[in-house]
Amino acid sequence: MDFTLKIWRQENAQAKGKFVTYKISKISEDCSFLEMLDQLNEQLVDKFDHPVCFDHDCREGICGMCSLYINGRPHGNDQGITTCQLHMRKFKDGDTIVIEPWRAKAFPLIKDLVVDRVAFDKIIQEGGYVSVNTGGVPDGNAIPISKEKSDLAMDAAQCIGCGACVATCKNASAMLFVSAKVSQLALLPQGKLEAKKRVENMVSKMDELGFGSCTNTGACEAECPKEIKISNIARLFREYYVSTVS
């Protein structure tokens, strides 16, 4: 398979960026999108050109590092996958593919397709954890939790913090990410003790970091690779309301 790639190249946050066109050929349809970029970089290095910088780590759809805007969609033209799980058979031979970084004020560009997502880490540091000392590891059945609640908590916990929700939102809102992190703890007994402080601090930090507001268009849910539901945003609002009136 042969492709024309239009890739955003930018030396740093201060430099002026632009799309650069590359031709690549003889790509297997079973090749992953990141493997295709690896092959492109090998060609560029062979020509003594600068390789394209992009984030990657586990390449198993778990780490959330492989965050690319591909043909106008976060993670590309497939549903419920990360970029590293996208394969070239999803494109047609001869296609032109446009590849961009996330574009959000809270995710400043570092170089080429790499953005700084430390803002998510800062939000987690404000309360996305349980700090109570429980001593030794309790038996799994020692704390009764309903199947419904445990399932909802596990669904929310699948969020990998890739930032697709921010990238696709017209307001660059982080509400889906924050609501998933709040929900996974708010639904469990272990998270109840710090619930009030957690939701207030995480929402406050989200606003401080420059993320936009939620206008409930649902684009975040539609493009989330782990299919996190916007019902978590409703739970976040409920948790926040309870914290302010109690």
Summarised one tens digit per residue, pLDDT across range 48-83 is 999 999 999 999 999 999 999 999 999 999 999 999
What is the percent of the chain where pLDDT is above 70? 98
In whole angstroms, give the CA distance from residue 117 to residue 68: 13
C-alpha dist (Å) from residue 17 to 7, 8, 12, 47, 105? 10, 7, 8, 21, 16
In whole angstroms, give the CA distance from residue 61 to residue 64: 7
Q: Are 168 and 217 in contact (CB under 8 A)?
A: no
pLDDT digits 0-9 by tens, 20-47:
999 999 999 999 999 999 999 999 999 9
When pLDDT is cut at 50, 70 and 90, the band that residue 130 belongs to is: confident
Indicate the domain borders of the chain: 3-100, 117-132+141-245
What CATH class is the domain 3-100?
A: alpha beta
Q: Are 122 and 210 in contact (CB under 8 A)?
A: no
pTM score = 0.92
Q: CA angle, 132 as apex, 128 and 136 as ends, to 5°? A: 120
The amino acid sitting at 9 is: R
Nearest to 200, CA basis, from 149, 114, 127: 127
pLDDT digits 0-9 by tens, 201-224:
999 999 999 999 999 999 999 999
Nearest to 75, CA basis, from 224, 191, 230: 224
In whole angstroms, give the CA distance from residue 195 to residue 127: 9
* 117-132+141-245: CATH superfamily: Alpha-helical ferredoxin (1.10.1060.10)
